[in-house]
Amino acid sequence: MIAITEMIRQLLSFHSIQTICAVPERFDFLNQVALLTIHCLNESAKVPEESESLMGAFDELLVTWVKLGKHGHAIVGMQVYKVGFVCNDSHTPNPYPRL
């Protein structure tokens, strides 16, 4: 699990927020990353023998979300929603309710 979360972090850290926002499937991808984040946290409490590995994966994902949040606030037109980021453009409908 740690390897997967490291790949996600590298993928999202390597590309700029503008590049991520240009990908049409970004909502689905970020939604899946959010679900994986929640899964790692929940399963670490349920499966004690896997808790260290799952908490490591959760920590990796949490760092990724924090970095995305920091970079997202620096960009005009970027808003943080419950899961992921939404770019303000007239071409993309907003699938997430605003916080």
Q: Could you give the 3-state DSSP secondary structure of residue 75?
A: coil
pTM of the predicted structure, to 2 decimals: 0.68
Cα angle: 92, vertex 95, 96; to 5 degrees? 125
Q: What is the end-to-end Cα distance of the chain in Å, rounded?
A: 30
The domain limits of the chain are: 2-87
- Per the DSSP assignment, residues forming a β-bridge with 78 are 87
Q: pLDDT by residue (tens digit) across 43-98?
A: 888 888 888 899 999 999 999 888 887 765 444 344 444 444 444 444 455 444 44
pLDDT at 81: 44
